Chain A
């Protein structure tokens, strides 16, 4: 299978809030929470941003790095758990906004935090089978935790888009596989504003079981081990889980740190592992190898073995900011502003 990443782009809203500011509102120890989650700030979208605008921005950044005719894009899939519409696709707006429509297929995906990696796999299949020349997979979210819920300290906003194809590949996807079970660790029922979760049940039987099993299966399938990769990135619901999973698999902190964005921007859900991968591709050298494992509650993991090619240099442009430039932001809001921006105030 000679399919790979042809281009990629990310987008992170500029606003940030500190866990301490959230904790103060709810009368808990913010420093302890910040330490416990390994999160110093999380991104907050403006009132005029949503999954559609974030997906468009990420996709447009992707197109700034590559010369292709948008009409050659045959598929667009947007993965998110916070699509602005329950019914009416995000993907059609993205298609129109990059002038890829109308001769293409498009749909929205939902699989908690791994809808974006699922979209990549779908595009890989379409490209490999020559059903489309290029496919775009987006993972993007403006996730919400219920006020005062532990999730409120991490649920944030951001997204990344990947262009998959056989031509002009800048990072080849050597292998991908998934691991899926029915594990109800986190959910949001139809019509509900905020999700619920199983507390500590989200850890061992959910995140760790799926991420670690999927990772080991990929090692086995590819005959590789942690020493074969310069970078590893895992789904990052907080700053602790991915580090712990990485260590258990034998990765060093040096291999993990580039893709670990959650301490500064929080958990961007469907965008999280993809933004981490994008941050790695921003700096990786040709021939370096990247190990990627996403996770979505409910539950499943998608893993990827990726090798960076010489063509990666072609994506380096100052037409759009790097992921690191977007991660860095000093535009902090207080809890009241955050609550206003996120529609948490009854009006």
Chain B
């Protein structure tokens, strides 16, 4: 994976930065330039904001056929997560047995390695989620 391609996304991958439409208030992740609801009226008004690092599992799968970067962790849980009060994203659920993941489970963001092309290449970092303290 190209270094700049990953590097330019680090604010959102490290700190869950999204955008809020200055016109209708809808929050998007990752940041968008145009709001799908407000179109032209939103241009120039997409304000960068921090999203909540807590969310709820909407759906999930336990991956057995894993891509190269995730081979060491299989089987692992991957989930669609609804962040509190905003939008959804996709991330692994770690620090629990994959079979403990459930729809409706509360989760919180953590900081992990996402991958590296080869052992001597740049390491990519970003969010993964773990069960919230209330779930442990």
Contacts and interface: CB of A to CB of B under 8 A. Distances in A.
A137 B111 CA distance: 19
A247 B94 CA distance: 41
A160 to B, nearest CB: 16
The secondary structure that dominates the B interface is mixed
Given A48-B94, A97-B15, A99-B15, A53 B72 contact: no
Contact of B133 (A46, A53, A318): A318
Interface residues of A, number: 22
B110 interface: yes
A96 B113 contact: no
A230 B66 CA distance: 51
B6 to A, nearest CB: 13
A75 B55 CA distance: 32
Interface string A32-55: 000000000000001111101100
Interface string A91-133: 0010011010000000000000000000000000000000000
B123 interface: yes
A49 B92 CA distance: 14
B123 A52 contact: yes
Contacts of B114: 48
A53 B111 contact: yes
Contacts, number: 46
Nearest to B116: A84
In which size bucket is the chain B interface? Answer: 10 to 19
Contacts of B94: 46, 48
A60 to B, nearest CB: 7
A46 B111 contact: no
The secondary structure that dominates the A interface is loop
Contacts of A53: 111-113, 125
B95 interface: yes
B128 interface: yes
Nearest to A57: B111
B10 interface: yes
Contacts of A341: 72
A197 B128 CA distance: 37
Nearest to A85: B123
B113 A48 contact: yes
Interface in A52-100: 52-53, 56-57, 60, 84-85, 88, 93, 96-97, 99
A33 B82 CA distance: 48
B60 interface: no
Contacts of B72: 47-48, 340-341
A14 interface: yes
Contacts of A318: 133
A85 B125 CA distance: 14
Nearest to B136: A321
A211 to B, nearest CB: 33
Nearest to B72: A47
B110 A52 contact: no
Contacts of B10: 96
Interface string B115-133: 0000000110100100001
B93 to A, nearest CB: 12
Contacts of B111: 53, 56-57, 60, 97
30 contacts: A14-B95, A46-B73, A47-B72, A47-B73, A47-B113, A48-B72, A48-B112, A48-B114, A48-B128, A49-B112, A50-B123, A52-B113, A52-B123, A52-B125, A53-B112, A56-B111, A57-B111, A60-B111, A84-B123, A85-B123, A88-B122, A93-B125, A96-B10, A96-B11, A97-B14, A97-B125, A99-B15, A321-B133, A340-B72, A341-B72
Interface of B: 10-11, 14-15, 72-73, 94-95, 110-114, 122-123, 125, 128, 133
Given A52-B125, A97-B125, A340-B72, 17 more contacts: A47-B73, A48-B72, A48-B73, A48-B113, A48-B128, A52-B113, A52-B123, A53-B111, A53-B113, A56-B111, A57-B111, A60-B111, A88-B122, A97-B15, A99-B15, A318-B133, A321-B133
